[in-house]
Structure 1
Amino acid sequence: MSDASDTFPTPGGQLGGQGLRTQSVHTQLMEAMLHLKQTIEEHLRQQTQRCGQQELALEEQGHSQAAPEQEALLSQLMCQVVSLLQSGAPGLPSSPLDSGGDISAEQQVPDQAVHQLSDLEAAFVTCCLSNRGIDISTLSSSSLQDFRAYLEDKYHKHRNPLGFINLGISENKLCIDLMMERLSRKDMNYIEESLLQYSDLRGQPFLRKEVARFLTYYCKTPSQLEPENVVVLNGCCAVFSALSMVLCDPGEAFLTPTPFYGGFVLTSSLYSKVELIPAHLDSEVMDGKTPPFQLTVGKLEQALLEAQLKGKKVRGLLLINPQNPLGDVYSPDSLKEYLEFAKRYNLHVIIDEIYMLSVFDESTTFHSVLSIKSLPDPDRTHMIWGTSKDFGISGFRFGVLYTHNKEVASAVSSFGYLHSLSGITQYKLCRLLQDREWIDKVYLPTNRSRLRTSHRYVTNKLQALKIPFLKRGSGLYVWISLKKYLNPCTFEEELLLHRRFLDNKLILSRGKSYLCKEPGWFRLNFAERHLQLAMRRFCQTLEEQKQSQVEKLLEDALRE
């Protein structure tokens, strides 16, 4: 899924390296234990209800259906706890739960110590999975649990008015009416024999040709792009995963500024076991000139040096433009600086431009990396784009790679064997991208207008609540600071606030999911049709949080 991973927490030890272990194992363990506690309580509650039932037959039937699911989940959660302990706890007797601090790279458990837990692991882990399978299962279950709850209990005005509203996943729902009308036209309903058969692994030739034209036009490239340099797979994360496989060996790394889109964490670990090394950006303005969370070459240089001192082999730089979750749009000068930095160190540059048509501020201009006339290192520059965000059709599962390096394009196209799109879907996408008149005169103006309206509504609410946020004019989200609602301001408290939102049937993405080094930041998606109700739930949650803090202060005062 291109964006379910926007809410991804990243359990330590599942990502193949220590670059991402800047997160607190304390917080991860706490999250797993909280979920375990809730599941056990639910299991006991159901057992108690069964005991009170009068009809034995119904009791036995209910037990046979529900108990195995509960027991399987308990086993999986215990497996997750064991994995967290293996990944980072500095010895069980002196658990990080006692100190409450983050665990540095130097404190990680050596391999010899991990084997001491094998008996404990064996008590809970089924023999059906390999160690790699256990890692994947643990990461998936923890990262997708909120999204699964949302899918099972979605808000609907009439059918389910108390269901979840998801402001955590980055989906554009503002122009679904336009897309449904366009995709229902007669020109979309076409089937021929070739569409029902295997096709070129790179994507259907007619679609790659149209993608090259589309990107030439909207990226304002200096010359016509070549269809041979286009590879089509089922989503941008699939493209990134394939690039990771062909550009890196297991254990090697990409450098990326944080906070950044957490879906790449899962993507880089599933197949390729590539590490993502963070170049942390600061929210504080140090010199009075540099904007908050500003990416500079100096920060990239520092992160690269620290990685090299730890013996890490960095193979590339991963950038997102417009940036997710910050909303920054890189200037042409900044882009060139990042590309020149990468060339100095022979690094590949992967630039995800999936929000390139979602710049709604008229004073902000997007510049694609493909628009640069003379790239510093064209053979190591690779651009990703898809229709999930700009056109609000994430269910189409469409991602594109454009690279000047034909060797890279050929290698990535091999993944079409596993990650291609159906022929009928490719035909519909081609027809959509061909309709330039509808895109330019109907869809894009309406989409940008609705994004501006929703953004203005949310930011006005945030200003009224005196909640700091980054005011940007691109993307589908706002990066907000809820630090004043955390006491103390820790990732543990951030998690508890996140769960309070869940209690009010509202999902937000917390900063830790984006590897933000500072607790208290959240990403709020405003491209949502039920925004007024969502913001009422948002305000209600914060009021409950403030009341809870007051009650806690009173309790502390009485104890003293």
Structure 2
Amino acid sequence: MSHQPNSLQMKGQGLKTQKPHSQVMELILHLRQIIDEYSRKLKIRHLQEDLEQEKQQRGQDIRDQEAIFVQLLGEVVNLLQAGATSSLEPQLPRLSLDSRGGDGQQAQLPRKPDQLNDQLSDSKTAVVSCDLSNRGIDISASYKSSFKDFIAYIGDKYQEDKNALGFINLGLSENKLCIDLLTERLSQSDMNYIDDDLLQYPDWSGHAFLRKEVARFLTHYCKAPEQLDPENVVVLSGCCAIFSALTLVLCNPGDAFLTITPFYSGFTFTSSLYVNVELIPVYLDSEITGANTQPFQLTVDKLEKALIEAGFKGKKVRGLILINPNNPLGDIYSQDSLKEYLEFAKRNNLHVIIDEIYMGTVFDESIPFHSVLSMESLPDPNRTHVIWGTSKGFGISGFRFGTLYTHNKEVAFAVGAFGFLHGISGITQHKLCRLLQDREWIDNVYLPTNSSRMQEAHKYITNMLKTLKIPFLNRDSGLYIWINLKEYLDPCTFEEEQQLYRRFLDHKLLLAPGKAYKCKEPGWFRITFADKLQRLEVGEWR
């Protein structure tokens, strides 16, 4: 799937009012664009056969693309034949001639010769009578365009001994530094417990024993002024599940949230999955000016301006989204700044969703992290909702655990209902509870080791960037670094950013381009450093 002009992507609704000859012309124009793009890419590919696997695939890619040409020409013939039909509403297949989408992401590599034939058959059926609703078509397109790189990576991961030509993924924010410690701890006997309750339906908000332990854990590590209430805790299958549930219970379709850009791209996909909630960007600039004492600085003035502009456009803004520590910048908000943002929200009757999933990734003890739960008094506690999980700090994203803490019991109750769809298995909840209970292991084994390894990996990557004279934001939190590759774009456009991204893909290296985070300036990338040194070295070479 592609959202770029070189992709044949037209919905039936957009063609309802057009006469058949105009539809034919539109198809021909798209076909002309695709032919030109295909010709250009063939020239480039002659220069990009560095990897053996790329050489093997080139022949199959060309055959695939020729087959798509045949189908496109067939669509033109079909429209000509149906020229007299006034109700012509074709559902055109969304196909791209490039094996990588126009947004710079790589599709899953062909695995068998008949794979494209199946795709064309499905697409042809979609032209006649698509089984998906319009919403289903949009979701499918969004999913494939957002995650096809990840799908390709999952099927072709780099392994030093077994698959040395596989993908090195330095774009995905995963903490792989302490897998050995976690494997050992999760294999101990206290983890292997099963009883009747764990094998049956739990409270949809999560088992009481886990919610109680989450409240105790956050009270301690967030330095809350008083014990947090387990009744205000909701447990679901990941922080995005929590975020999605919050948008559903706080917003009506078409409502909006202010979000600081650049920001976590997963929220873009999640916000449209169940309910149509618009994310209105509050753009931050990299340049230091009189108003910006540091790159990408968030100020209340910028929030006010974005809210006023949204109002002029008739947008109903329901809340503000904050990520602390920030993803992808790595910035940590001071306690004073947090209070200013929360007071802005209160003045304007806005909810605040604050994602603190990177709380456990601050690896410099001299830099304090202030959880919003540590504040003595919140400006508007009933409209302040905190998200946290173990995916980043503890490096167990596969557990699919996210939790909400809110002082608003109505919100907690409403979000808890989504445990019916997005709950976690009882056995997993038991393991998580035992892990969070083991403060001695966390404080004396895991946290010191994780911090030390993060510092080492961060130093390795930053030294490499300095040697290559690549500018970057030097922060001491998060699993990633925000780097500036503008020098390698000529001209400095998002199209060139995508071309550079594809060059990395050609060498089986995944980084995260700034456009995915709604960055207003082309040329920024996020690179994940929380990986084993050996994989970082291979990634550096590529």
Shorter-chain TM-score range: 0.7 to 0.9
- Aligned counterpart for 2:227 among listed residues 224, 227, 230: 224
The CA distance in 1 between the partners of 2:423 and 2:248, in whole Å, is 17
1:70 Cα deviation (Å)?
1.0
Report whether the alignment pairs 1:470 with 2:488. no
Residues 421/245 of structure 1: CA separation in 2 closer, same or farther (3 Å cut): same
1:357 Cα deviation (Å)?
1.1
Residues 391/11 of structure 1: CA separation in 2 closer, same or farther (3 Å cut): farther
- Aligned counterpart for 1:304 among listed residues 298, 304, 307: 307
The CA distance in 1 between the partners of 2:301 and 2:422, in whole Å, is 37
Question: What are the equivalent positions in structure 2 for 1:89-100 lying under 5 Å apart?
Answer: none
Q: Secondary structure at the match of 2:496?
A: helix
Question: What are the equivalent positions in structure 2 for 1:446-465 lying under 5 Å apart?
Answer: 446-465=449-468
Residues 257/34 of structure 1: CA separation in 2 closer, same or farther (3 Å cut): farther
Residues 332/47 of structure 1: CA separation in 2 closer, same or farther (3 Å cut): closer
User: Who is 1:207 aligned against?
Assistant: 210
User: Who is 2:22 aligned against?
Assistant: none
Report whether the alignment pairs 1:69 with 2:115. yes
User: Who is 1:159 aligned against?
Assistant: 162
Report whether the alignment pairs 1:286 with 2:256. no
Aligned partners of 1:504 and 1:537 also within 8 Å: no
- Aligned counterpart for 2:253 among listed residues 242, 250, 254: 250
The CA distance in 2 between the partners of 1:234 and 1:125, in whole Å, is 38
Q: Secondary structure at the match of 2:165?
A: coil
1:287 Cα deviation (Å)?
1.8
Q: Secondary structure at the match of 1:457?
A: helix
User: Who is 1:137 aligned against?
Assistant: 140
- Aligned counterpart for 1:374 among listed residues 374, 377, 380: 377
Q: Secondary structure at the match of 1:222?
A: coil
Residues 304/402 of structure 1: CA separation in 2 closer, same or farther (3 Å cut): same
Report whether the alignment pairs 1:512 with 2:515. yes
The CA distance in 2 between the partners of 1:305 and 1:517, in whole Å, is 19
Aligned partners of 1:167 and 1:524 also within 8 Å: yes
Aligned partners of 1:489 and 1:519 also within 8 Å: yes
Q: Secondary structure at the match of 2:306?
A: helix
1:219 Cα deviation (Å)?
0.4
Normalising by structure 2, report the TM-score: 0.80
User: Who is 2:76 aligned against?
Assistant: none
Residues 44/208 of structure 1: CA separation in 2 closer, same or farther (3 Å cut): same
Aligned partners of 1:230 and 1:409 also within 8 Å: yes
Aligned amino acid, residue 472 of structure 2: F
Residues 532/222 of structure 1: CA separation in 2 closer, same or farther (3 Å cut): same
Residues 131/291 of structure 1: CA separation in 2 closer, same or farther (3 Å cut): same
User: Who is 1:416 aligned against?
Assistant: 419
Aligned partners of 2:168 and 2:539 also within 8 Å: no
Deviation per residue, 1:60-118 (Å, 9 max, x gap): xxxxx945531454578x89xxxxxxxxxxxxxxxxxxxxxxxxxxxxxxxxxxxxxxx
User: How many residues end up aligned between the 2 structures?
Assistant: 459
User: Who is 1:264 aligned against?
Assistant: 267
The CA distance in 2 between the partners of 1:450 and 1:9, in whole Å, is 38
Deviation per residue, 1:418-450 (Å, 9 max, x gap): 000000000000000000010001000100110
User: Who is 1:351 aligned against?
Assistant: 354
Aligned amino acid, residue 116 of structure 2: Q
Deviation per residue, 1:333-368 (Å, 9 max, x gap): 000000000000000000000010110012211000
1:45 Cα deviation (Å)?
3.6
1:371 Cα deviation (Å)?
0.4
User: Who is 1:440 aligned against?
Assistant: 443
1:272 Cα deviation (Å)?
1.5
Aligned partners of 1:10 and 1:139 also within 8 Å: no
Q: Secondary structure at the match of 2:388?
A: strand
1:35 Cα deviation (Å)?
13
Q: Secondary structure at the match of 1:527?
A: coil
The CA distance in 1 between the partners of 2:540 and 2:428, in whole Å, is 37
What stretches of structure 1 of length at least 5 have no aligned partner? 1-7, 15-25, 49-64, 80-121, 541-560
Aligned amino acid, residue 326 of structure 2: Q
Q: Secondary structure at the match of 2:415?
A: helix
Report whether the alignment pairs 1:404 with 2:407. yes
Deviation per residue, 1:365-423 (Å, 9 max, x gap): 10000000110000000000000001000000000000000000000001000000000
User: Who is 2:429 aligned against?
Assistant: 426
The CA distance in 2 between the partners of 1:420 and 1:209, in whole Å, is 17
1:162 Cα deviation (Å)?
1.0
The CA distance in 2 between the partners of 1:309 and 1:11, in whole Å, is 29
Normalising by structure 1, report the TM-score: 0.78
Report whether the alignment pairs 1:499 with 2:517. no
The CA distance in 1 between the partners of 2:294 and 2:180, in whole Å, is 37
Aligned partners of 1:506 and 1:538 also within 8 Å: no
Report whether the alignment pairs 1:170 with 2:173. yes
The CA distance in 2 between the partners of 1:350 and 1:73, in whole Å, is 40
Q: Secondary structure at the match of 1:523?
A: strand
Question: What are the equivalent positions in structure 2 for 1:471-550 lying under 5 Å apart?
Answer: 471-529=474-532, 531-538=533-540, 540=542
Aligned amino acid, residue 392 of structure 1: G
User: Who is 1:322 aligned against?
Assistant: 325
1:534 Cα deviation (Å)?
3.9
The 4+ residue runs of structure 1 with deviation greater than 3 A are 8-14, 33-48, 65-68, 71-76, 122-126, 531-540
User: Who is 1:149 aligned against?
Assistant: 152
The CA distance in 1 between the partners of 2:460 and 2:267, in whole Å, is 30
User: Who is 1:42 aligned against?
Assistant: 60
